[in-house]
């Protein structure tokens, strides 16, 4: 608990009983408090910019997608961070060869096959 008999500062530390020293301590504490308030205001002003908000939204969405992808990959024993170097190499290869449409078509076909196999497996498990 707080001892009300002793003079304490904002942080709970003891102040000097000498008035001159105490005045300097209080001025120093006030300056520290004002600098913290100014810093907090600057952070709020910076965070209110649209580009900063957009960056935060993109970071949040990316994180959510990565968590979902990691949850899907957990049974295989791998993660997004382990597969990312291979994915980036494949992406750069496709981009350099200008094979984007073919790769998108292949991804759609593989996705449809995976969906079909997953549905078939679920129907077999329910029967």
pLDDT digits (tens, 9 = 90+) for 76-118: 888 989 999 999 999 999 999 999 999 999 999 999 999 999 8
Helix, strand, coil fractions of the chain, as percent rounded to 5: 80, 0, 20
Residue 70 has pLDDT above 70, yes or no: yes
Q: Band of the pLDDT at 73, cuts 50, 70, 90? A: confident
pTM of the predicted structure, to 2 decimals: 0.48
pLDDT for the residue 1: 44
Please state the domain extents for the chain.
Answer: 81-127
- The C-alpha angle with vertex 125 and arms to 121 and 127, in degrees rounded to 5, equals 115
């Amino acid at each position: 608990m707080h001892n009300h008999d002793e003079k304490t500062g904002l942080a709970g530390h003891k102040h000097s009983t000498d008035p001159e020293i105490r005045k300097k301590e209080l001025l120093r504490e006030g300056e520290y408090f004002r600098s913290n308030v100014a810093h907090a205001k600057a952070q709020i002003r910076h965070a209110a910019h649209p580009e900063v908000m957009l960056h935060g939204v993109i970071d949040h969405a990316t994180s959510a997608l990565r968590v979902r992808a990691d949850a899907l990959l957990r049974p295989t024993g791998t993660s997004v961070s382990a597969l990312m170097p291979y994915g980036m190499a494949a992406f750069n290869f496709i981009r350099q060869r200008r094979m984007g449409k073919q790769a998108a078509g292949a991804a759609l076909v593989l996705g449809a096959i995976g969906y079909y196999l997953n549905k078939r497996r679920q129907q077999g498990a329910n029967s």
